[in-house]
Amino acid sequence: GVAGGALAADTWRVATEGTFPPFEFYDSNTGELQGFEVDLVKEMAKVMGKDLKLESMSFDAIIPALISGTVDAGAAGFSITPERAKRLRFTVPFYRSGLTIVVPKANKAGIQDFDDLKGKHISVQIGSTSMAYAKKIEGAKVTTFASAGDAILNMLAGNADAVINDKPVTDYIRSRNSSIAENTIHLEPIATADQFAMVTTKANAKLSDEMSAALKTLKANGKFEELHQKWFGR
């Protein structure tokens, strides 16, 4: 029998990947999944009247999980791209971002801008827009990692000339890890004007619209601004 059990229809299954601070990441003390986007989906679930089931998986597994229907939505710092929009539906955007380059302090390869990355060894997070960007650079040797943090550590071990990553995440990693901050340079040029949004399949348009409506409610009632303040400061 189903007596006492929660109705499946009320459950909102959201996939994320927890190595993307301050959007979604694990607290090193409590081991708890936290972040701006984690807080956002929790608040959205309240507005939508649904029971949130947040599931962590590797970043490149999220879109296949959406397509196969094992999750309803993805909330993992997804950049809106025309390529993804062919198969997926994006909510209204919730954050403006862009890709930047981080190099080792010594910067032996003399990299100052994206044009300097031709033929260079670049480390990136698997399945990310950074990976797609790096793979289009002429002659670049691209190595993928489970997280941008791992890509940076690989570079600092001397195995890559540069890392491409989402700017706010590189900013956050450098602000919280003095060893990474001291041993890297975060270059100024921004490759693309990205917008982060949450994703569903196209078939799930109704859910996508509910999610967008919930985001708009949080923007209108001040909760969004409060959470933005919490994770990004002024």
CB 50 within 8 A of CB 10: yes
Instruction: Provide, rounded to whole angstroms, the least separation between the CB of residue 222 and ligand ARG.
Output: 26
Binding segment (CB under 6 A) for ligand ARG, from list 19-27, 43-51, 85-93, 113-121:
19-27
Closer Cβ to ligand ARG, 7 or 67, answer by number: 67
**Per-residue mark of binding to ligand ARG, 122-161 (x: CB under 6 A):** ---x--xx--------------------------------
Subset of 63-92 contacting ligand ARG (CB under 6 A): 76-79
CB 162 within 8 A of CB 114: no
**Per-residue mark of binding to ligand ARG, 173-212 (x: CB under 6 A):** ----------------------------------------
Instruction: Provide, rounded to whole angstroms, the least separation between the CB of residue 148 and ligand ARG.
Output: 7
Identify the residue among 13, 17, 124, 155 touching ligand ARG (CB under 6 A).
Answer: 17
Identify the residue among 161, 166, 167, 204 touching ligand ARG (CB under 6 A).
Answer: 166
Q: How far apart are CA 179 and CA 183, in angstroms?
A: 6
Describe the crossing of helices 36-48 and 223-232 by its angle, rounded to 10 degrees. 160
CA-based nearest residue to 157, from 133, 114, 113, 123: 123
Tokens of 63: 């879109």
Identify the residue among 20, 94, 114, 133 touching ligand ARG (CB under 6 A).
Answer: 20
β-pairing, 121-125 vs 162-166, is: parallel
Residues 6+ apart with CB under 8 A from 63: 74, 84, 87, 88, 127, 199
Give the sheet arrangement for strand 162-166, strand by strand.
141-145, 121-125, 162-166, 99-104, 184-186
Identify the residue among 40, 41, 43, 59 touching ligand ARG (CB under 6 A).
Answer: 59
Q: How far apart are CA 174 and CA 165, in angstroms?
A: 12
Instruction: Provide, rounded to whole angstroms, the least separation between the CB of residue 108 and ligand ARG.
Output: 27
Residues at the interface with ligand ARG (CB under 6 A): 17, 19-20, 24, 59, 76-79, 125, 128-129, 166
